[in-house]
Structure 1
Amino acid sequence: MDDPRFLRPKPLTAGSRVAALSLSSGFVTEVPHRYAAGVRQAAESLGWEIVPAPNALRGPDYLYANPQARADDLHWALQNPGIDGLVSIIGGDDSIRLLPYLDPDIIRAHPKAFMGYSDATVTLTQFLKAGVMVYHGPAVLTDLAENGGMHPYAVRGIQQAFGTESYDLSPAPEWTQARQDWEDEAAQNVRRPFEAGDGWTWLQEGTGEGHLLGGCVEILDMLSGTPGELPLEMWRGAIMALETSNDVPPPSQVGYWLRNWAAKGVLQGLSGLMLARPRDYTPEMTEQLYTWVRRVLKEAGREDLPVVANVDFGHTSPQLCLPLGAQVRLDSAAGTVTVWPG
């Protein structure tokens, strides 16, 4: 059931050697113990050997001044036969500056699994444009370096996404947005407080199946009108997955972005919509968000579109790993989201 437009790279498994990339912020050098924890915990929980790309640890000043060096790291990892895959270290706000330097021919010629989220949405989108599946999921400094060890839900989500069998996504049994002081080395081994999982919410019922596309809504909007934007035809028949960042965009702003996609004709061609648990939203803001989503879909004539919300991906912990480009089926009657990873 694979979408023929997307090539699935070799999955990452125990023993894989994975390049850590600073594609946006070089903040990692401010918290070296956090990075070390991510490397160690990925080895313990996933069996991955994470190695830094040549420029990944050169600091925020250098990486800000040299976007080509960040793109060079991506190309290095893809062309290096000793590297099996790529993972983002952390997000930021200027991966879009890599667009003039990224070579889609290298991505197509050397397809490798790349995992990241937030500002990494820019790079994830370029892989999809090149016809290569990618993985919207944990970064080194977030879930891989989770305080007290990787959460079993995040580990299982990564393993399922890189597996070969179809599977149903499941809500997280617990979740947290508790703040972490990444500069407090002693706190690295102290588990954060979690609250009981609150499940998914189906905003509109129905069934829909298609290839999965999406990412961080703010970054997708940033790409709008640039050469890095996905073409309209790639959205046709897709399941769109959207998450909001810790910038906490107002619900109305998310509604305006959805209206933009309606104006482009994107919403009219979708097969389904998945919304992540919105980061740092109050219950009132969440209800406002849901009202906006239903309003815009009604305006676009898409009251028939199945919509599932409060899904555990993006800026929430623990988060799922979503294989973008894979086939996904939404079924509100069964309450399931089924993924065919490849």
Structure 2
Amino acid sequence: MPPTFVRPPALRPGDTVAALSLSSGFVAEVPHRYEAGRRQARAELGWHILPAPNALRGSEYLYRNPQARADDLHWALENPEIHGLLSTLGGDDSVRLLPHLDLNLIRTHPKCMVGFSDTTVTLLQFLRAGVSACYGPSLLTDIAEHGGMHRFVVQGLRQATMQTAGFALSPAPEWTEQHQEWLDPDLQEVRRTFLPSRGWRWLQGEGAVSGHLIGGCLEVLDMLNGTPGWPEPELWRGAILCLETSEDVPPPAQVGYWLRNFAAQGILGSAAGMVLARPRGYSSEMVEELDGWVRRVLWAAGREHLPVLANVDFGHTSPQLTLPLGGQARLDPEAGVFEVLQGAVS
């Protein structure tokens, strides 16, 4: 039987959402961007952003105190005044939270959690606790976007966190990787340059498939692999794998090696489909090489007909979708469809 997940209550305008620094404490170094994120979340989504007790205590304190980061998550879950949870940023340190996390609190106080990148660790603990979660923008990234939130991001967050029905997914009309210095307050209202999008690409696949969404950032999944926080085999079975890479720009061969590990674990063999994000920092030659690695690994795993959709707008790209992990989705290569059948909230 496929796994089932509790769907937390949908967020509504006027709800209070806790800002959590579960990995990096960099938010304390860019107070102007933090305030922009709070202001834009209020204007576009109606959310009141409230920092968790330790969220703004800075990088040094949070690095030395993973228990404090876990305490913030537990505080937000148990606090009846908090309706949702939002990561301030990613990082590279969430794996150190594992000994301190209480999955029972996640299970008994289900709330909508949103984040990406290193927050992959925490989002997968929600799935392990039997609770859906959302792979979407953090407070300091697309929510605090220079000059205001992108319409595509607003729509994606509303669909995934505030809408109980399923919804169709479609490519963003434009995208950017332009770096805009966060430390300079004068640049906060200077919009970045966006380029026209070429859309999504089907690498392979025959026939429509459906399954629950699971996945995250591959570099973070590599850190999590083999720890007590790694999702149990039944959580991968029948899933649509949603995989992305970070600004570290791992070589295509490294992505292939990670996928070989997934094949060896049986994850690829039992998957219903795969969705790959637009890889940040890749040249056209690297994209072509990556495509070859994905097809080669899947062929070796006996999955040469597995539906694979690539270049999708989630993860380390802007603007980004919000994907309901644990939610049911459908891929149809022939019809060119990627849709959510049942989302992450109720």
Deviation at 1:205, TM superposition (A): 2.1
Distance 1:96 1:257 in 2: 18
Secondary structure of 1:15's counterpart equals: coil
- Residue 15 of structure 2 corresponds to 16
Quote the offset at 1:130 in angstroms. 0.2
Determine the C-alpha separation between the residues in 2 that align with 1:235 and 1:152.
Answer: 32
Cα distance in structure 2, aligned partners of 1:333 and 1:166:
20
| 8 Å contact kept, 1:202–1:332 | yes
1:37-56 matches, within 5 Å, as 37-56=36-55
The secondary structure found in structure 2 opposite 1:329 is strand
Tell me the SS of whatever aligns to 1:316: coil
Cα distance in 2 between the residues matched to 1:88 and 1:306: 31
Question: Aligned residue for 1:141?
Answer: 140
Contact kept in structure 1, 2:205 and 2:307, CA below 8 Å: yes
1:206-221 to structure 2, matched below 5 A, reads 206=206, 207-221=208-222
Most deviating of 157-166 and 280-289 = 157-166
Q: Indicate the residue corresponding to 1:72 in structure 2.
A: 71
Asked whether the equivalents of residues 208 and 305 of structure 1 are also in contact (C-alpha less than 8 Å), the reply is no
Letter in 1 for 2:274: L
Q: Is the 8 A contact 2:273 2:331 kept in 1?
A: yes
CA contact under 8 A between 1:216 and 1:314: conserved in structure 2? yes
Match of 2:329 in 1: 328
Q: For the residues of structure 1 that align with 2:215 and 2:180, how far apart are their CA atoms?
A: 27
Structure 2: distance between partners of 1:235 and 1:4? 9
What do residues 111-170 of structure 1 show as CA deviations (whole Å, max 9, x unaligned)?
A: 000000000000000000000000000100001100010000000001111212221100
SS in 2 for 1:122: helix
User: By how many angstroms is 1:42 displaced?
Assistant: 0.4
TM-score, normalized by length of structure 1? 0.98
Find the aligned partners of 2:15 and 2:170 in 1 and give their Cα distance: 26
Whether the 8 Å CA contact 2:177–2:317 is kept in 1: the answer is yes
Which residue in the other structure is 1:186 paired with? 186
- Match of 1:49, as an amino acid? H
1:173 is matched with 173
For residue 240 of structure 1, give the secondary structure of its aligned residue in structure 2. strand
Deviations 1:15-55 (A, max 9, x none): 11000000001011111100000000000010000010000
- Partners of 1:155 and 1:103 in 2: how far apart? 31
Look up the match of 1:29. Answer: 28
Letter in 1 for 2:76: A
RMSD: 0.8
Q: Percent identity?
A: 64
Query: Offset of 1:4 from its aligned partner?
Result: 5.8
CA distance in 2, matches of 1:168, 1:284: 31
Tell me which amino acid in the other structure corresponds to 2:12.
T
Distance (whole Å) between structure 2 residues aligned to residue 127 and residue 188 of structure 1: 33
Find the counterpart in structure 2 of residue 196 from structure 1: 196
1:242 aligned onto 2:243: yes
In structure 1, what is the Cα distance between the partners aligned to 2:320 and 2:281? 15
**Shift of residue 219 of structure 1?**
0.7
**TM-score scaled by length of structure 2:** 0.97
Q: Does 1:259 align with 2:281?
A: no
User: How far apart are the structure 1 equivalents of 2:289 and 2:338?
Assistant: 24
Unaligned runs of 5+ in 1: none
**Structure 2 partner of 1:225:** 226
Q: Counterpart of 2:317 in 1: which secondary structure?
A: coil
What code does the residue aligned with 2:254 have? Answer: Q
Contact 2:5 2:131 in 1 (8 A): yes
SS in 1 for 2:148: coil
SS of residue in 2 equivalent to 1:131:
coil
Give the secondary-structure state (helix, strand or coil) at the position aligned to 1:100.
helix
Residue type of the alignment partner of 1:158 = L
Mapped partners of 2:205, 2:265: distance in 1: 24
The 5 Å alignment of 1:289-300 reads 289-300=290-301
CA contact (8 A) 2:242 2:274 kept: yes
Task: After TM superposition, give the deviation of residue 262 of structure 1 in Å.
Answer: 0.3
Structure 1 residue 13 displacement after superposition: 2.0
Whole-Å Cα distance in 2 between the matches of residues 328 and 146 of structure 1? 28
- Indicate if the aligned counterparts of 2:3 and 2:234 stay in contact, CA closer than 8 A: no
Are 2:122 and 1:123 aligned?
yes
Q: Which structure 2 segments of 5+ residues have no match?
A: none
CA distance in 2, matches of 1:70, 1:198: 40
The aligned amino acid for 2:62 is L
TM-fit CA distance, 1:273: 0.1
* 1:248-287 alignment, distance < 5 Å: 248-287=249-288
State the Cα deviation string for residues 313-334 of structure 1 (Å, max 9, x = none). Answer: 0000000000000000000111
Letter in 1 for 2:235: M
Amino acid at match of 1:22: S
Q: 2:303 corresponds to which residue? A: 302
Q: Is the 8 A contact 2:3 2:235 kept in 1?
A: no
Q: Distance in 2 between matches of 1:168 and 1:275?
A: 17
